[in-house]
Structure 1
Amino acid sequence: MLGEARRMKILEWLQEEGTARVRTLAEAFGVSEVTVRQDLEKLETEGHIVREHGGAFLKSVTQQVQAMALHHMIHMDAKRRIGRAAAAMVADGETVILDSGSTVTEVATHLVDREGLTIITNALNIALVLGGLQTFEVHMPGGHFKAPTLSLSGERSADYFHGLFAQKLFLATAAVSIEAGLTFPSLSDISVKRAMISSASEVILVADSSKIGRRSFSSLGGIELVHVLVTDEGIRDEDRAAFEDAGVKVVIAS
């Protein structure tokens, strides 16, 4: 991987995780620690991150947590439409798993008029949105706090889902394609998302069209993990046809 492309992947990693160690990045990208330090120095010069001994952290992370703000807030008009369309698939009384992220948060905000939902989520902001509703039960795993996504992650979080059952999972992704499947900027959420998928009868992927046809760093698995894709009208006709040929129902949010 060329230097500029690698630096963008490292930045995506930090935007997902908040922090990273030099050693971890070197092992993940198959380069020396010296090379990673040079990459981090460049990213710091550009104003994206702050280096610290042995690693780096996202420059905006403290302010984001204090404001309970998510990092990935682009394409919000499409995400709101997707959230409304996805929430319409939920019936009163169901048990639903909600992944973390800005698009799934939009699903959550459109569930407030339902009755008797049981919500399982690793997202602190979603728990705050839905936890005060009188007829809702909201459950959360433990785990490691990830500041940019306001979520709990890691093996302890994944273990929480073992033995649980839900009718639906609303899953987020960084990128999705027929060839690469579901991919993410880093490794820490993979086990959690796999555990969520194992606990749900129906997996509904919510992803705006800018994520389609792309690939990120680490793979969750193939598109066969997904039953429904809810996206916006920006999806290309050939991509929609490819997903439908693969057995995925495609819902266009308008």
Structure 2
Amino acid sequence: MFVEQRLEQLLQALSSAGSLTVEQAVELADVSADTVRRDFNRLAERGLAVRTHGGIMSRDGYVHDSPIRERKVQRAAEKAAIARAAAALVVDNETIALDGGTTTFGVIEHLRADLTLTVITYSLDAAIEVARRPNMSAIVLGGLVREPTLSVVGPDAMAMVGNFHANTLLLGANGVSLELGLMTPNRMEAQLKTALIGISDRVVLLADSSKIHKRALVTFGSLQAVTTLVTDAGADPSFLEQLRQSGIEVIIAQQE
């Protein structure tokens, strides 16, 4: 098992238990105690856990991977407002790309019915929803399906991305930081997000205020890659001002 795979496994266990001892991690990862201690130090150095005597504990401000059914009901009002504002940015005859986030999924229901669109996505939920709309066609990337997010990931999906070009990418992130950029808990989804940024002319980041100043395991892009941020009124004003000064458009979504 590679280092990043072990770290992801340890963080998943940490999210459930709140703390891990060296002995527990040795049994979980089937590696030596010295390897576990090095992994614990890596997590602490990245700000993803707090080192304790003989183990680690959860750190506030770190985002773990969670099932999509749970994330759909979290901050639902803010996400709906952001999705509605982002949908207004999409124009007719575009090719758009959607990642596997719950907020980006919400954009679909707010798209104008008369729009003719091609949608590239690695989200099974998004592909099915787009396919129901008569003027829209869905291209779903193929590969391994991740149960927590119902996203299609892996080398086959990565190989497909390079065949396409998108006018606009609607992108979510589990954590957004001035220092570390855009973050997600899963490295395979991180690879796809990075690839989608690379094929897109415009990157619209959909992130509610709870994601700002949060950290996750993997950085998949810098804020410099973002054209527009759509967020809610609770976002840190100083953070938003720094984005504006760097040339990023900021849209504050209003709840109905």
TM-score range for the pair, normalised by the shorter chain length: 0.7 to 0.9
Contact 1:155/1:192 (8 A) holds in 2:
no
Paired amino acid for 1:190: A
Matches of 2:14 and 2:114, distance apart in 1: 35
Contact 2:101/2:171 (8 A) holds in 1:
no
What are the equivalent positions in structure 2 for 1:80-229 lying under 5 Å apart? Answer: 80-111=80-111, 113-229=113-229
Paired amino acid for 1:170: L
Deviations 1:160-181 (A, max 9, x none): 1103111100011000011110
- Relative to the length of structure 2, the TM-score reads 0.75
Deviations 1:172-231 (A, max 9, x none): 100001111011112111211111111110000001000011111111132111111100
Matches of 2:84 and 2:172, distance apart in 1: 15
Contact 1:100/1:121 (8 A) holds in 2:
yes
Residues 226 and 152 of structure 1, relative CA distance in 2, 3 Å threshold: same
Deviations 1:125-161 (A, max 9, x none): 1111110211111111111111121110122212111
Gaps of at least 5 residues in structure 2 are 1-7, 17-26, 42-53, 59-64
- Relative to the length of structure 1, the TM-score reads 0.75
3-state secondary structure, aligned to 1:107: helix
Matched residue, 1:65: none
1:30 and 2:39 matched: yes
Residues 234 and 159 of structure 1, relative CA distance in 2, 3 Å threshold: same
Contact 2:82/2:231 (8 A) holds in 1:
yes
Q: Give every structure 1 segment of 4 or more consecutive aligned residues whose post-TM-superposition deviation is greater than 6 Å.
A: 24-29
Residues 72 and 239 of structure 1, relative CA distance in 2, 3 Å threshold: same
Paired amino acid for 1:169: L
| Structure 1 position 22, deviation (Å) | 4.2
Identity %: 30
Residues 11 and 70 of structure 1, relative CA distance in 2, 3 Å threshold: farther
